[in-house]
């Protein structure tokens, strides 16, 4: 069985940059899945893509399926012969196999002996298999939006123009999307538009690079990164390379060339975030900072050609960016003509959610909760209430309407200009933190109070109208809101009771249709998010389950318990104590209320139970202040000392004594032992 490199390339008109990676990866996976299903051996798979092509290269693809032994089972032996002669059933089976009855074999099975037939079936060649595999992979691509072109009935993301299918140096004859496969590809649209005849599939990347095309996505991105950093160094500046922008820009070019342009310094009077958003969103430019971290009046653009006169390309980009930045300056000047607080009235006409009222209603509700939180965390209640009132006012500004990603940021700038307290202004920016996993949390207490109040209002409101998130749908980002609340409470070490906060938030809503049991439902939903938080911390999920088994409603306390139980699980004594707790839990569950209310020392007959009773009482006294101060790690360290008396107790004492009084007393001792660990978690849940 011979192997060669397989190459597929589909030539298209410029694809949407956001779809290129998704389409190329899906194409590679689809072909690999098809080959696996056909049991054709192959090696490594690589996806390549540019705006004008989707390609897949597969190393060491065999030229055919392996031959297979096929076994067929016919009638049972008892039904195959009668009086030593083959029956019609045996004869018919033999004819279907193309042989005589005497050539059939006997197949032994657990259910008896059967007539059978085995034959070697030659594998199909890839010339037969690949056309259907590739066509199926292309048909299953997650194309965002289909289009037709000309008078063709064929549909794809963009018009298709050529198809390459090579196995080594051989063309695989196939037709996909109306195109006949060949060995002909094309280079850069402007630098090398002529046809390129590929001699061998291994020539692909090198041949395209000679024709000004970098088909390797990763290499093209790194080329852009290197060029941007080099241009920044020449300008004596620091380039800010946003990874999402880097991916998008690499999807716009086949032969990247970085060029540095400039804009009028007067635009630097506008907040830098406005200019950066305009440059990134509209022109896909990388911005530059000086050594103080301030925006410089420079940008780096990525051209798709090597121009003989780069200055013309730069000047063209400078002409394009000028009106964009002028628009940003105009929006900024227009917004500043009225104070941010004057826009509070606008919120009454903006619907937050039909059943939950307007943004003005949301601001009113959040203000009460934010003030309460600020009082509990020794913040500034007046500032927190003020920040909640102003939090959504920037949504009606021209700048945020043009660049929605600037919400909160513009509120910060406009509040500062209006002379609002710095803490209030900062809170307007921090209200959306954390935005994603690993993002920073609000640093100011006013920002923390606002960020918590806003999310809690949303959670209670959306659950209260029955719009709970499902496995696939979470349109109000309630999972992210919940995790945001947990992160703020834990990282800022705010020891607040989540039930109390949710109860207050619910009290601010009028006539929620599903108010019954609402606080408990939202509380449980939020605490369930600790499962993902635990996994992100690298802690086994059973540690979460052990803590979740207890009625803990303070997230900071929950996190401390998780870390303590995780540390405890690493002790040598943990395994034995976990097993003992499981045994105790099972015994107590079976006996119900049979145990005594308290331990009677006079009924402790065996030395092992006397020793355990003393050890439990001593540990209770020692751990009481530790539990009171939430020093759970230290408390569990103390409890590890119970391993020896616990093991001895189970080795030497019969819990289920025939004497009811002694039995009830021993059950009380086990309950006392269990209750010590339950101060932290149900460690019986640990593996």
CA distance 432 to 480: 11
Residue 474: strand, helix, or coil: coil
* The pLDDT of residue 336 is above 90: yes
Backbone angle region of 630, left / alpha / beta, with phi > 0 → left and psi within -120 to 50 → alpha: left
The region of weakest confidence among 129-143, 237-251, 579-593 is 579-593
Chain CA centroid to CA 539, Å? 18
- Per the structure block, which two tokens stand in for 9? 């390339």
CATH of 3-65+125-210, one of 3.30.413.10, 3.40.190.10, 3.40.50.2300, 3.30.70.260: 3.30.70.260
Residues 420-443: tens digit of each pLDDT: 999 999 999 999 999 988 899 999
Domain ranges of the chain: 3-65+125-210, 68-121, 218-335, 348-528, 562-685
pLDDT at 473: 85
Chain CA centroid to CA 361, Å? 32
pLDDT at 490: 95
CA distance 373 to 449: 6
pLDDT band at 256 (very low <50, low <70, confident <90, very high): very high
What residue has token string 């090696």? 43
Residues 6+ apart with CB under 8 A from 586: none
- Per the structure block, which two tokens stand in for 564? 């303590």
Q: Across the strands, what pairs with 58?
A: 6, 45
Domain 348-528 has CATH 3.30.1490: no
Judge if 348-528 and 562-685 fold alike in CATH terms: no
Contact predicate 554/497, CB 8 Å? yes
- Per the structure block, which two tokens stand in for 72? 């067929």
331-339 contact pairs (CB < 8 A, 24+): 331/274, 331/397, 331/398, 331/399, 331/402, 332/270, 332/271, 332/274, 332/399, 334/398, 335/397, 335/398, 335/399, 335/410, 335/414, 336/414, 336/417, 339/414, 339/418
Contact predicate 118/110, CB 8 Å? no
Contact predicate 314/260, CB 8 Å? yes
Residue 266: strand, helix, or coil: helix
- Per the structure block, which two tokens stand in for 289? 């900072």
* The pLDDT of residue 593 is above 70: no
User: Higher confidence at residue 473 or residue 266?
Assistant: 266
Residues 6+ apart with CB under 8 A from 250: 17, 217, 220, 221, 224, 256
* The pLDDT of residue 594 is above 80: no
What single-letter DSSP state applies at residue 440? Answer: P
CA distance 669 to 430: 52
Fold adopted by 562-685: Isoleucyl-tRNA Synthetase; Domain 1 (1.10.730)
Quick one: 103 exposed, middle or buried, by C-beta within 10 A (0-12, 13-18, 19+)?
A: exposed
Among 145, 172, 125, 157, CA closest to 11: 157
What would the mean pLDDT of 31-55 be, rounded to a whole number? Answer: 96
pLDDT at 538: 87
Residues 200-220: tens digit of each pLDDT: 999 999 999 999 999 999 999
CA distance 156 to 14: 12
Residues 222-245: tens digit of each pLDDT: 999 999 999 999 999 999 999 999
pLDDT band at 268 (very low <50, low <70, confident <90, very high): very high
CA distance 633 to 574: 13
User: Higher confidence at residue 282 or residue 25?
Assistant: 25
User: Higher confidence at residue 254 or residue 151?
Assistant: 254
Contact predicate 156/169, CB 8 Å? no
pLDDT at 424: 97
Residues 497-554: tens digit of each pLDDT: 999 999 999 999 988 999 999 999 999 999 999 998 888 888 999 999 999 999 999 9
Among 683, 686, 687, CA closest to 550: 683
Chain CA centroid to CA 578, Å? 33
């Amino acid at each position: 069985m011979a192997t060669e490199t397989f190459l597929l390339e589909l030539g298209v008109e410029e694809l949407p940059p956001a779809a290129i990676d998704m389409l190329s990866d899906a194409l590679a996976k689809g072909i690999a899945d098809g080959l696996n299903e056909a049991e054709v051996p192959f090696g490594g798979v690589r996806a390549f893509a540019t705006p004008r092509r989707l390609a897949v290269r597969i190393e060491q693809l065999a030229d055919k399926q392996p031959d297979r032994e096929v076994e067929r089972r016919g009638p049972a032996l008892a039904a195959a012969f009668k009086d030593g002669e083959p029956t019609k059933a045996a004869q018919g089976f033999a004819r279907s196999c193309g042989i005589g009855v005497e050539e059939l074999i006997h197949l032994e099975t657990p259910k008896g002996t059967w007539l059978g037939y085995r034959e070697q079936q030659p594998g199909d060649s890839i010339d037969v298999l690949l056309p259907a595999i590739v066509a199926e992979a292309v048909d299953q691509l997650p194309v965002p939006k289909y289009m037709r072109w000309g008078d063709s009935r064929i549909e794809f993301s963009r018009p298709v123009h050529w198809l390459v299918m090579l196995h080594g140096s051989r063309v695989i004859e196939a037709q996909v999307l109306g195109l006949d496969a060949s060995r002909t590809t094309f280079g850069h649209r402007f630098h090398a538009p002529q046809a390129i005849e590929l001699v061998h599939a291994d020539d692909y990347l090198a041949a395209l690079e000679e024709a000004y095309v970098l088909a390797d996505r990763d290499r093209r991105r790194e080329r852009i990164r290197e060029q941007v950093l080099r241009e920044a160094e020449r300008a004596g500046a620091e380039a800010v390379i946003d990874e999402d922008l880097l991916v998008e820009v690499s999807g716009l070019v086949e032969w990247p060339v970085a060029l540095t342009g400039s804009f009028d310094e007067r635009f630097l009077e506008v907040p830098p975030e406005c200019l950066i958003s305009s440059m990134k969103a509209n022109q896909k430019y990388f911005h530059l900072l000086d050594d103080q971290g301030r925006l410089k009046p420079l940008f780096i653009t990525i051209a798709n050609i090597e121009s003989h006169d780069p200055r013309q390309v730069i000047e063209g980009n400078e002409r394009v960016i000028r009106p964009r930045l002028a628009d940003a300056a105009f929006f900024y000047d227009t917004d500043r003509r009225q104070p941010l607080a004057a826009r509070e009235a606008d919120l009454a006409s903006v619907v937050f959610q039909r059943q939950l009222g307007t943004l003005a209603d949301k601001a009113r509700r959040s203000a009460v909760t934010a003030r309460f939180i600020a009082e509990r965390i020794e913040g500034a209640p007046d500032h927190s209430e003020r920040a909640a009132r102003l939090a959504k006012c920037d949504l009606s500004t021209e700048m945020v309407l043009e660049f929605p990603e600037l919400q909160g940021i513009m509120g910060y700038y406009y509040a500062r200009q209006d002379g609002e307290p710095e803490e209030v202004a900062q809170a307007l920016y921090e209200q959306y933190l954390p935005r994603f996993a690993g993002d920073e949390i609000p640093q100011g207490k006013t920002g923390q109070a606002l960020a918590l109040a806003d999310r809690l209002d949303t959670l209670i409101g959306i659950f209260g109208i029955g719009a709970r998130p499902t496995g696939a749908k979470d349109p109000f980002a309630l999972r992210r809101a919940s995790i945001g609340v947990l992160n703020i409470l834990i990282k800022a070490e705010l020891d607040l009771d989540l039930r109390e906060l949710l109860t207050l938030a619910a009290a601010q809503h009028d006539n929620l249709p599903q108010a019954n049991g609402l606080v408990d439902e939202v509380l449980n939903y939020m605490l369930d998010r600790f499962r993902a938080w635990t996994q992100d911390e690298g802690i086994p999920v059973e540690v979460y389950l052990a803590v979740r088994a207890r009625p803990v409603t303070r997230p900071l306390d929950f996190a401390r318990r998780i870390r303590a139980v995780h540390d405890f699980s690493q002790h040598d004594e943990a395994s034995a104590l976990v097993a003992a707790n499981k045994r105790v839990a099972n015994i107590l569950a079976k006996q119900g209320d049979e145990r005594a209310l308290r331990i009677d020392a006079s009924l402790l007959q065996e030395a092992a139970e006397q020793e355990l009773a003393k050890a439990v009482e001593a540990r209770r006294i020692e751990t009481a202040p530790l539990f009171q101060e939430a020093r759970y790690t230290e408390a569990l360290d103390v409890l590890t000392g119970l391993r020896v008396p616990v093991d001895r107790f189970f080795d030497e004492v019969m819990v289920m004594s025939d004497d009811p009084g002694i039995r009830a007393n021993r059950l009380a001792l086990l309950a006392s032992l269990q209750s010590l660990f339950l101060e932290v978690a149900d460690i019986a849940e640990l593996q």
